[in-house]
Structures are given as structure tokens and as C-alpha cells.
Amino acid sequence: MSLRVAIAGGGIAGLATAAALLRAGHRPQVFERREAGAPAGGAMMMWPNGMAALEALGVGARVHAGATAVREVEFRAQHGRALARWSLAELGHVHVVFRAALLQALRDALPCECVATGTAVVSARPRADAVEFTLDDGSHHVADALVACDGVHSRLRAQLFGAVPPPQLHQLAWLATVPHDDLVAIPHGVAIGSLGRGQRFCAARIDDARVFWYATVNATRRPSEPGVVALAQVFGDWHEPVAALVRAAEDPAVERVGPVELGELAPLRHWCRGRVTLLGDAAHACLPDLGQGAGQALHSAVVLAQCLGEGDDVATALQRYEQRRRRAVADVMRTSRLVASLSMSEAVHIASLRELVVGALLPTLGFPRIESIAAHARA
């Protein structure tokens, strides 16, 4: 049966859900509150589970072509002492993917009429046989199901499930893509990660001309100035190439984003109410310390479309999607929090423990964990 599925939110989760449903023969309609072409900056890590989901959505080759493979991560302490070198070869390649390119690939998998921009969904009311929803122009609509992909501050989540604890703010992030030159030489295929107390800096070479970097600071250590220029206060005395990469982003011509607030939701007990469900950050915003938020949203989109194709009534199919995904995602959220509490700790004894963990424990314990997440995505 071909279902009419309304999707609130046209970020990674919403567009991926529409692409998955379209491939399964349904009729998705995305409503995105922002105008078309609103900027989406920076890049992200895409682990093999995210890449597997992109394959299933039919955009794997396109995203892969514009992505940069990372074969190795080199960790240092903030003054340059080498901590560890991880090979990612066993996991299959991890990729750096530009957010705008990922969104565009998902957008291009959909016919134009599938996405309405500049249109917010303001309320949804599940009935036994359909779901009614209202847009911000006051118009009322009906669909067979509604998927709320409206992000970490989801308005529909609050309406459907009442007051759940608000997302907790943990970190601030800045991202920039700067020219690659001799001062910031980073080999192809290598990402660097440098750890300070409550501060972290990661970078990866994109191509011959560019390096992408990503810096985080605990929210309690917010610099006095908001812009990227203030980061010199934080990272100015770090080892090279960190300090040079931060300075390079002071050029106004450089594409840069931040500060972005990074928070997480407490795991929810339910994602579904009748014919309405949550997906992506609306359901499970997690800290980006495992680089799994988008990967989990892509995976959920694939599972949701599978469940709706299994022949039950819509509400039962949505419940099954929740059963297949909720616990697995809660596990990823917990692991992300654990990694965040180690990698962003300000306590001296935790910083020493972290150096041990980064060198020895994470590759032996953490990689099998990522591998099992990836295997789950492939199943």
C-alpha cells in the first residue's frame, strides 16, 4: 500500500526518511521551515554504518565521490606529545563528508514537489485512521502517517509526549575549512585529534588545497568573544599545526561556522504516538563525540521504510520501527556520553586516564563497538 507520509523537517533525517519512503513506493511530503538554500556549513565524520545507510538510500556513490577517506587518526596532547595512532582500516573507511553536499545528495534523490520549504508544521494530532496536522500558514492537512524530524528542539516531540527534559548543553563547537599550505601540512588520509582539558581540536585533509577542522570547548568555558577569532585565546599556544589552523580561519574569506551549541537528550521512553513518530535528533540527539548522530538518523530512516513495508497497520509498523531502533540508539547515546566525559574532562586525573584509554583501550574496546553498530546497519 502506498502511504501519504508527512515529514516535519528537511534536515538529514527528514530528507533521508523521504528518500527511503519514496524508494519503498510511498508518497512522502517534507515540510521544512527554513527557506530553500539556507546555508549548511562544515563537515562531519561518516562511519561505515552511515555509509551503508546512504547506499541503501541510493545516494552512496554520489556521497562517496565527494567524501574524503580517513585511514588513520593521530592523537596528541595539547602541547604536542604523541598519545596514539589508530588505524581505521579494519572498520572499512571512515569518511569526512561536507554537510551541504550530503543534504544536496539527499535532496536530489527527491522530486521537487516532495519538499516544501519556508513551511513549518506547527501541530499534529493522530487519529485512529489518519493524522491531522497544521502548517504555519494556518492550513490543515491529513496524511496516513507523520514523521517528526524537527531536530533537537522538536516542537512536535513536546506536543506529543508532554514535557520531556530539555536537551542538556555540554559543548560549543567551531568548524572551518582552511587552505592547506606548508604551515599546516597534514598527510592525505590522516586525521589529527588533540586533547586538552575541556578542549579538543580535530582536523583532516580534504584534498590538495583544503583542511577541515573542528574545535570543541566545554560550554562552561565559553570564550569571551563569540567568533572564531576568539579561539586564538583557547588554542593559540597549542602544538602545530593546531595554532596555525586556528589562525588561518581568521581570514574572513574562510568558510567557518560557530559557536554551535552541542547538547544531548535524555533517552526517551517512547518515540511513537499512534500514526506519528520521531526520527533523528528529535528522537535521539546525542553528543557528537562518536560522530554518530547523522549516521543513526540515516539508519533509522532505512528501518522506518522497511517497517512500513511489512504489511501491518501504520501504528503497528511505527511501533516496530521504535522497537528495532530505540534501544540500539540509546546504547550509542550512552557510549557518546562516555567518550565525551573522557575526552572533554577538565580533571587532571581523568586527563591522565584518558591518555591511557586513547592509546590502548579505545581501539580494542571502542572499535568492536563501532563495528557492531555498523554490522547492525548492514543487517
Ligand X SMILES: Cc1cc2nc3c(=O)[nH]c(=O)nc-3n(C[C@H](O)[C@H](O)[C@H](O)COP(=O)(O)OP(=O)(O)OC[C@H]3O[C@@H](n4cnc5c(N)ncnc54)[C@H](O)[C@@H]3O)c2cc1C
Query: Residue 353 is which amino acid?
Result: L
The three-point CA angle 218-220-222 to 5° equals 80
User: Interface with ligand X includes 110 (CB under 6 A)?
Assistant: no
Among 143, 145, 146, 294, binds ligand X (CB under 6 A): 294
Residue 368: half-sphere exposure toward Cβ, Cα within 13 Å: 3
Query: Residue 89 is which amino acid?
Result: A
| Cα four-point dihedral sign 94, 97, 103, 109 | negative
Contacts for 275 with CB less than 8 Å, ≥ 6 apart: 126, 127, 130, 131, 144, 145, 146, 314, 315, 318
The DSSP code for 89 is: G
Contacts with ligand X in 171-190 (CB under 6 A)? 173
Among 6, 22, 45, 130, binds ligand X (CB under 6 A): 45
Binding mask 223-262 for ligand X (x = CB under 6 A): -------------------------------------x-x
Q: Which stretch binds ligand X (CB under 6 A): 29-37, 65-73, 219-227, 240-248?
A: 29-37
User: Interface with ligand X includes 293 (CB under 6 A)?
Assistant: yes
Contacts for 141 with CB less than 8 Å, ≥ 6 apart: 6, 132, 133, 134, 135
User: Interface with ligand X includes 31 (CB under 6 A)?
Assistant: yes
Q: Which stretch binds ligand X (CB under 6 A): 71-79, 104-112, 146-154, 237-245?
A: 146-154
- Output 32 or 322, the one with its CB closest to ligand X: 32
Nearest distance in Å: CB 312, ligand X = 25
User: Interface with ligand X includes 151 (CB under 6 A)?
Assistant: yes
Q: Which stretch binds ligand X (CB under 6 A): 69-77, 109-117, 186-194, 274-282?
A: 274-282
Nearest one of 323, 283, 295, 291 to 53, comparing CA atoms: 295
Nearest one of 59, 87, 92 to 72, comparing CA atoms: 87
d(CA 350, CA 338): 12
Cell of 362: 579505545
Among 3, 6, 9, 206, binds ligand X (CB under 6 A): 9
Among 24, 73, 150, 241, binds ligand X (CB under 6 A): 150
Residues in binding contact with ligand X, number by CB under 6 A: 33
d(CA 143, CA 141): 7
Q: Which stretch binds ligand X (CB under 6 A): 2-10, 79-87, 108-116, 223-231?
A: 2-10
Among 3, 5, 6, 14, binds ligand X (CB under 6 A): 14
Cell of 102: 550530503
User: Interface with ligand X includes 297 (CB under 6 A)?
Assistant: yes
User: Interface with ligand X includes 10 (CB under 6 A)?
Assistant: yes
Instruction: Answer yes or no: are the C-beta atoms of 156 and 276 closer than 8 Å.
Output: yes
Nearest distance in Å: CB 147, ligand X = 11
Beta bridge partners of 145: 5
CB atoms within 10 A of CB 297: 27
User: Interface with ligand X includes 295 (CB under 6 A)?
Assistant: yes
Nearest distance in Å: CB 360, ligand X = 24
Binding site for ligand X (CB under 6 A): 8-14, 31-34, 44-45, 50, 120-121, 149-151, 155, 173, 260, 262, 280-282, 288, 291-295, 297
